[in-house]
Structure 1
Amino acid sequence: MLGEDRGGGRTLLLLCGLFAFGLLVVTSGGGGPGNSRSEDAIDSDSGGLRLNKHIGHTDKRSTQIKNDKGKRREQQKPHVFPDDHYRRLIHFVQVTDVHVSMHRAPDRITDFAAFLNDTLLKVIKPPVVIMSGDIVDSLGPSYMSSDQNLREWITYRKVLDDSKITEKLQWLDIRGNHDNLNLASVSSPRNMYRTYSEKGRSYRHSYRYVHAQGDEKIAFVGVDTCMDPGSRRPFNFFGQLTPSRFDELLRMRDEVAHVNYTVWFGHHPSAVVFGRSKEGLEMRSLFANSGPYLCGHYHTVFNLVQHMYTMHDNNALELELGDFKENRKFRVLSIDHGLLNFVDVAFKTYPIILVTNPKNALFHLPSYEPLERIRNSTHIRVLVFSDEPIIEVKLSLDNADEIYLTQVDKTPLFVIPWKPRDYAQGLHTLRVTAEDGQGRSSSVFFEFSIDGSRPSFELLGRAALFITRQFLFLTLLCILIVISSPLIFLRIRYTGPFSHGMRNSGTSVFGHCPRVHGDRFSGGNAATGTRACLPSCSSKRSCTSFPGYRLLSQLVLLVSVDRLFYPLIAFPIYICIGPWFLGAIVEEHLGVCFLWGTFVDGNFLPGGIIFFYAIILLLVYYIPFVVLLSSRVHSTYATHFHTGGTGMSLRGTAQSLGISTGNSSSGRNTLDRCKIPGARGMQWLLTPVLRNMQAFSLLTLVAFQILWASWFWFAFGWIAVVFGFVPSGGLVFTAVLWRMASVLPRNLFCRNAASCNREEEPQSQPHSAAPVNNNGSRSSSPLPPIVEADRAGKRTHFEGNSIIARNDFDDAGLLLTPEQVKLTSKNNSVRQKAASHI
């Protein structure tokens, strides 16, 4: 009996072994054709999806595959597709940039508490909520001052505890740049994120969380992009990933490779995050061929861009969300059978409509999501949330008649059957409208596709997420070129060693306008053979074209003065390479700030937003100051040679418009001739302004410099203003160059002192009365004597009613020639030659 029992046992063991072996063969892909199942796999060579035949047990997890970027994801089961059952559907919420503040907008905290208690816990009821940074404001009463505020963090913690939201769902918060203001390190005792946030208590930097619901597993990876140390405002706008933190994220990516879907979230958009991995990978490589990256930080760019979405290379989808701070925005997302959809809504806006199938064609992830499930689906699925019962939900496809959806088992899911093959080609439109018990109605509209067609992203949204430090650097470089090139060109062209200034040409710098002009661009003198560059408004050029010539003349005069030209060229160069200031960058640690980065406490923080401040400084201060300084040099030049006028190009504009500035009566003649509507009515208002335009412009620049310095004072302390050229040096720079331009000596405008002295002799003698032109006004030349060249190249120099010999003029050699000369009867033949050029 014992032997028979042993024989029976061996037989039983053999049968069990054969059964186990057969089961292993079946689950590993063997077996007959009757047990075959098709599953989705990624064709990394073609970049699309292909259908592979795998044979296996329906309850067995499919194998892991690897795409061209080394990403791994779990293959989805082929028989799973959206139908009329509430399954394989997970929804969650993202909110960002709350900016809890103790100094401004107290209703922000009240609304945030109501959002948690009413919207999240009572209406949407998500299992997961993402708080993607800028939890607190950390700004002082002056707005530019910044520091961690204990009361703000306590308030945030109290809102979470009072609502008990962390006990009912997973609250995934990550810090933003405002949560990192003025922190020496992540381990600093002032880092209140480690004490009062939900996840900061457990994780120093990035972390991951895997949510399991039924057969679905969704991984959430929080990416900490804050710099360490965190500087004060405003130079903490950019983020950073150090190589060690990057390696940690790569390790997390491998750890969650087995889940159905991975969602990445952080505060900074990838365009403003510095740092690479040891292998040279950028941040976008983390979520390339993976789930989307959810972020905030941009606050809808002053309400100019409401939708900031884009698809980077390698199917890296990035979705920025507007702020809760001012716009009260939040996002509801769903993952329905491996397909992600979302909708951005405003607080207290109901009903909330989220279509989960079909997927919005704009956000297709063909290398990651099982898009063929849209084609195999049997129902259109819509989630609708409201604080009141939903009365009706209607659907329209391609603007066809509306049809009603059916609610699934008192859940927020509404469905309706459809035939995807009827929409197999191209893009199609979908509109869903819902109404709740209070009569409130809302709708959503987007395009979907079955064949993978995709519309284009909005231009402004794409641009906002593509602007990097490299873009700001190129913008600054272009501005420097635009600023410096004209000055250097004018310096070489008109005052260089191979040129004798503007006096070498018988025409103006524009070439087509004769050098002999009427009285201050106001008219001609028919008796003497001269005429204005623009005699009347009926000619091809307009009266307002003259200030451009005056401005160019002023700039030529400015660049001819070495003591002014070289500082003006050196200023933008210093902005790019020199230290901006020394100040308290982080807590009490002094640091030195450059355009390209900051050195503080043995650490280097890459420069980012400081490029934007450099652009503002050049556009708002430097360019207007160059123009204003050229006008001041022109005034000094005119004073030395008794030509009258301030030389402001806007003053010339006033006279060309017929507005008298008190120096001549030609303005009235121009007004009568040009017939400019409303010019006489504006005369009483514009005349005093234009007379003092230099003073007004200078005061405006000084006011900007004072405001600019105060920003740095509040942000980095008085040390930054005292020991900083960029914060306060502009005031000194303005004062010194303005003073130098006001006291330029007369001989600086002459080729040599001897010739300048000879020029003074005839001017010291009393001149005869200036001739009266045909309009009854006396000449008032705005610039000193000029040279006119006849066609034979001979030169004659006129000064008032006297004639200076050609050889004497060559010795005098003024750097610039005037705009107008009154020809006298002493040189009738030359007058005719001058007229022949006109």
Structure 2
Amino acid sequence: MARKAKRAVTNSERGNAKNQDQKGLEKTHKGTNLLILRSDLTNSKTYGVKVAEIPQEWEIYRHLVKERIDRNVTTVWLDIAGNHDNFDEVGHFHFKANAVQSSFTISRTADPVRVSGLGGQNITLLPVDASLKPGIRAYNFLGYLPGDEFKSLRKAAEEAHSRGDIIIFYGHYPTSTIVSSNDLGKLLSAGAVYICGHLHTGFGMANHMWTRYPNGLMELELSDWAHTHRYRILAIDDGRLTWMDVTHPTWPVVLISSVRRSSRGDGLFQYFVRLLVFTDEEIDAVSVRADDNLGHWITCIHGFGPLYSATVEIQYETWEHPANEQEFIKNIQVLVGNTSGTKTLLRVGMAGAGFEYPTPSPVSALILTVKLHDIVSAFIAEHVIQTILC
């Protein structure tokens, strides 16, 4: 029976796009899709010159969101304001009127959302809203997290940790651009990852903008959709974070979320592999095998949405590679067949499957770790002084 692959990011659930309460800690969402938009939701530029918010852009955003959620009512849509969404606005008027997470109208922070991971462990997603209010142009290149907001975020993280949840923080501003009197990096290190935007490709100098700090914090930037059409698929399976960046349109897309190895004796090993498969057509079947010369294609079992799994047996007398999960993934092949009759063969490799993170460039590590808020603050202060003197 043909199955339509869902274009998703992780597991979750979404009801009504605008009116349904998203207090995720009252209900654990299972088995559906989650989409995180780290902003900017709009561009607010005319011929390269920044202007105030453009109502037509917000109308387009609201229309597209409604259209997508009407097609898949189970998708949780998590949007958060960026600096482009708040140019010269006192109270985020356009964001409040058009965004899905309208609970920002009540307080600075949207509600935490709790979802179920692929391995059954719960995940709590916590928003980091550092957008300036009001969002005066130029100044809102930096974010600001006040003390009360920091305390609320810390309390939510402590509650999630006490339940044994994996924590994912998401926001618009990287930590290097957030002004805070508290140790934000230490707080975020309690999570598996902090997903952010704003700097995108580091002013065009870094393709993979991510870094891992000495305290364990993993901070992931992502190129903007407007110019590069790049998006990220992220999954947590059995407590392990896997992710990969994809340039649209690229089909099919395969992310290997989990590989477990066990010995059957007499040199026989079993690999249990789970993978997420996305296409722009209806999927007829997904098959895997290890290397060109080993064994036959094994048809994967479909779980739900984009999730497939298979068990691959390997006799190491005929296997020329070390007996570990990494070497298995380096040599795995995936065959995706669609109902149209087309078939695509992928030799994904570790980086291509998301199982091994791409090497961050020295430039990205520098941009994400240098305290840009100190540099920019000094520049803005000098500009203000010169303006006053003139």
After TM superposition, the score normalised by the length of structure 1 is: 0.36
- Between structures 1 and 2, the one with greater strand share: 2
* Partners of 1:347 and 1:196 in 2: CA distance: 25
User: Residue 326 of structure 1 aligns to a residue in which SS?
Assistant: helix
Query: 5 Å matches for 1:250-289?
Result: 250-257=154-161, 258-277=163-182, 281=183, 283-289=184-190
> What amino acid does structure 2 have at the position aligned with 1:315?
G
Report how far residue 221 of structure 1 moved: 0.7
> What amino acid does structure 1 have at the position aligned with 2:372?
R
Preserved CA contact (<8 Å) 2:147 2:180: yes
Preserved CA contact (<8 Å) 2:124 2:160: yes
Report how far residue 316 of structure 1 moved: 0.6
Preserved CA contact (<8 Å) 2:145 2:178: yes
Preserved CA contact (<8 Å) 2:83 2:140: yes
* Partners of 2:329 and 2:310 in 1: CA distance: 17
User: Residue 300 of structure 1 aligns to a residue in which SS?
Assistant: coil
Could you say which residue in structure 1 is the equivalent of 2:150? 246
Could you say which residue in structure 1 is the equivalent of 2:74? 168
Preserved CA contact (<8 Å) 1:382 1:413: yes
User: Residue 236 of structure 1 aligns to a residue in which SS?
Assistant: helix
Could you say which residue in structure 2 is the equivalent of 1:383? 276
Could you say which residue in structure 2 is the equivalent of 1:158? 63
Could you say which residue in structure 2 is the equivalent of 1:179? 85
Deviations 1:749-797 (A, max 9, x none): xxxxxxxxxxxxxxxxxxxxxxxxxxxxxxxxxxxxxxxxxxxxxxxxx
Could you say which residue in structure 2 is the equivalent of 1:413? 308
Query: 5 Å matches for 1:53-452?
Result: 92=10, 126-139=32-45, 141-165=46-70, 167-184=73-90, 188=91, 191-201=93-103, 203-207=106-110, 208-212=112-116, 215-232=120-137, 234-257=138-161, 258-277=163-182, 281=183, 283-358=184-259, 378-388=271-281, 389=283, 393-394=287-288, 396=290, 404-409=297-302, 412-417=307-312, 423=323, 430-436=330-336, 437=338, 438-446=342-350
* Partners of 1:392 and 1:212 in 2: CA distance: 24
Deviations 1:152-204 (A, max 9, x none): 222211212233347322111111111121123xxx3x622112101134553
- The 3 A distance-change label for structure 1 pair 455 and 423 is farther
> What amino acid does structure 2 have at the position aligned with 1:344?
D
* Partners of 1:445 and 1:93 in 2: CA distance: 24
* Partners of 2:381 and 2:190 in 1: CA distance: 42
* Partners of 2:153 and 2:144 in 1: CA distance: 13
Preserved CA contact (<8 Å) 1:266 1:295: yes
- The 3 A distance-change label for structure 1 pair 148 and 457 is closer
Preserved CA contact (<8 Å) 1:93 1:331: no
Deviations 1:443-487 (A, max 9, x none): 432279xxxx999643233233223227848xx9xxxxxxxxxxx
Report how far residue 303 of structure 1 moved: 4.4
Count of aligned pairs: 339
* Partners of 2:303 and 2:78 in 1: CA distance: 28
Report how far residue 321 of structure 1 moved: 1.5
Matched, 1:463 2:366: yes
- The 3 A distance-change label for structure 1 pair 357 and 182 is same
Gaps of 5+ in 2: 1-7, 13-30, 264-269
Gaps of 5+ in 1: 1-89, 95-124, 359-372, 477-574, 581-592, 596-719, 726-838
Deviations 1:187-232 (A, max 9, x none): x3x6221121011345532231112479432211111011232111
Report how far residue 267 of structure 1 moved: 0.8
* Partners of 2:231 and 2:96 in 1: CA distance: 25
* Partners of 2:374 and 2:262 in 1: CA distance: 41
> What amino acid does structure 1 have at the position aligned with 2:275?
V
Could you say which residue in structure 1 is the equivalent of 2:20? none
- The 3 A distance-change label for structure 1 pair 286 and 247 is same
* Partners of 1:454 and 1:345 in 2: CA distance: 13
Preserved CA contact (<8 Å) 2:288 2:299: no
* Partners of 1:153 and 1:405 in 2: CA distance: 47
Preserved CA contact (<8 Å) 2:200 2:224: yes
> What amino acid does structure 2 have at the position aligned with 1:265?
Y
- The 3 A distance-change label for structure 1 pair 455 and 129 is closer
User: Residue 171 of structure 1 aligns to a residue in which SS?
Assistant: strand
Preserved CA contact (<8 Å) 2:40 2:84: yes
Deviations 1:525-561 (A, max 9, x none): xxxxxxxxxxxxxxxxxxxxxxxxxxxxxxxxxxxxx
* Partners of 2:262 and 2:368 in 1: CA distance: 32
CA RMSD of aligned residues (A): 3.9
* Partners of 1:176 and 1:443 in 2: CA distance: 37
Preserved CA contact (<8 Å) 2:288 2:310: no
* Partners of 1:400 and 1:578 in 2: CA distance: 65
* Partners of 2:279 and 2:142 in 1: CA distance: 38
* Partners of 1:301 and 1:578 in 2: CA distance: 23
- The 3 A distance-change label for structure 1 pair 467 and 400 is farther
Deviations 1:716-756 (A, max 9, x none): xxxx6xx675xxxxxxxxxxxxxxxxxxxxxxxxxxxxxxx
Report how far residue 410 of structure 1 moved: 6.7
* Partners of 2:244 and 2:331 in 1: CA distance: 13
- Between structures 1 and 2, the one with greater helix share: 1
> What amino acid does structure 1 have at the position aligned with 2:156?
M
Preserved CA contact (<8 Å) 1:427 1:447: no
* Partners of 1:246 and 1:457 in 2: CA distance: 29
User: Residue 93 of structure 2 aligns to a residue in which SS?
Assistant: coil
Query: 5 Å matches for 1:645-660?
Result: none
> What amino acid does structure 2 have at the position aligned with 1:179?
D
Report how far residue 578 of structure 1 moved: 7.6
* Partners of 1:454 and 1:386 in 2: CA distance: 23
Query: 5 Å matches for 1:746-761?
Result: none
User: Residue 50 of structure 2 aligns to a residue in which SS?
Assistant: coil
User: Residue 341 of structure 1 aligns to a residue in which SS?
Assistant: strand
* Partners of 1:409 and 1:225 in 2: CA distance: 40
Report how far residue 391 of structure 1 moved: 5.8
Preserved CA contact (<8 Å) 1:133 1:176: yes
Query: 5 Å matches for 1:541-556?
Result: none
* Partners of 2:326 and 2:257 in 1: CA distance: 20
> What amino acid does structure 2 have at the position aligned with 1:406?
T
Deviations 1:310-335 (A, max 9, x none): 11122111111121111111111222
Q: Relative CO higher for 1 or 2, CA cutoff 8 Å, sep ≥ 6?
A: 2
Deviations 1:14-64 (A, max 9, x none): xxxxxxxxxxxxxxxxxxxxxxxxxxxxxxxxxxxxxxxxxxxxxxxxxxx
Deviations 1:351-401 (A, max 9, x none): 11101124xxxxxxxxxxxxxx7789951222222133366544557x986
> What amino acid does structure 2 have at the position aligned with 1:299?
H
* Partners of 1:174 and 1:183 in 2: CA distance: 15
Preserved CA contact (<8 Å) 1:429 1:447: no
* Partners of 1:159 and 1:249 in 2: CA distance: 30
* Partners of 2:323 and 2:58 in 1: CA distance: 52
After TM superposition, the score normalised by the length of structure 2 is: 0.73
User: Residue 185 of structure 2 aligns to a residue in which SS?
Assistant: helix
Report how far residue 263 of structure 1 moved: 1.1
- The 3 A distance-change label for structure 1 pair 153 and 455 is closer
